């Protein structure tokens, strides 16, 4: 990932409330909300050490993924339908939590509950960050393109694991 240092510091860098997981998404989303362009080089090869910080079986990874997803969504999303998006996300999180429980992963079930509890505790500071960013840009957040289908359906029901495969499926 390459970032102009001026853009990095313009959005106050990485949010210190993130220990790991989604901090780069939050950073890019804030830069995009300020009008900066985010690019990807599709021909690049990315090597990612999966579980380098926390491995998949660690409930703290589950906690961070669920909490940070909610915080990132609330901090950076375009306002229209934001409440509906958060509620929808919470429903999906409940489904995931009960899936953990049914599979015998009680620690991950409780990690999701803990993530939601922490999200509620962080509401005042997260809303303050949202307000400060909106003041910085002087207008509404950028309306981003929204995938017009249900990625959860494709992942769990259709067993399609990549976006390019979803696109192929939709274009049939």
Residue 166 lies inside a defined structural domain of this protein: no
Residue 93 lies inside a defined structural domain of this protein: yes
Closest CA to 33 of 143, 131, 124: 143
| Count of domains for the chain | 1
Residue 147 lies inside a defined structural domain of this protein: no
Task: Tell me the per-residue pLDDT of 96-119, one tens digit each, with 9 for 90 and over.
Answer: 999 999 999 999 999 999 999 999
H or E segment and range at residue 133: helix 106-137
Task: Tell me the per-residue pLDDT of 11-39, one tens digit each, with 9 for 90 and over.
Answer: 999 999 998 889 999 999 999 888 888 88
Residue 49 lies inside a defined structural domain of this protein: yes
Domain that holds residue 13: 5-141
Residue 161: other Cβ atoms inside 10 A: 9
Residue 168 lies inside a defined structural domain of this protein: no
| Stated pTM of the model | 0.83
Residue 20 lies inside a defined structural domain of this protein: yes
Yes or no: say if 63 and 122 are a contact pair by the CB < 8 Å rule: no
Residue 77 lies inside a defined structural domain of this protein: yes
Residue 109 lies inside a defined structural domain of this protein: yes
3-state helix, strand, coil in the chain (%, to 5): 60, 0, 40
Residue with tokens 């249900």: 150
């Amino acid at each position: 990932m390459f970032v102009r240092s001026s853009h990095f510091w313009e959005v106050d860098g990485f949010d210190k409330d993130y220990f790991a997981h989604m901090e780069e998404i939050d950073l890019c989303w804030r830069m995009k909300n300020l009008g900066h362009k985010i690019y990807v080089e599709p021909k690049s090869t990315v090597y990612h050490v999966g579980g380098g910080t926390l491995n998949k079986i660690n409930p703290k990874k589950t906690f961070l993924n669920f909490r940070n997803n909610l915080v990132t969504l609330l901090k950076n999303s375009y306002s229209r339908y934001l409440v509906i998006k958060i509620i929808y996300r919470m429903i999906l999180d409940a489904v995931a939590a009960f899936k953990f429980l049914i599979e015998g992963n009680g620690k991950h079930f409780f990690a999701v509950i803990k993530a939601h509890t922490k999200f509620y505790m962080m509401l005042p500071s997260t809303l303050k960050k949202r307000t400060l960013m909106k003041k910085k840009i002087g207008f509404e957040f950028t309306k981003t393109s929204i995938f017009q289908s249900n990625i959860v359906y494709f992942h769990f029901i259709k067993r399609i694991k990549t976006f390019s495969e979803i696109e192929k499926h939709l274009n049939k």
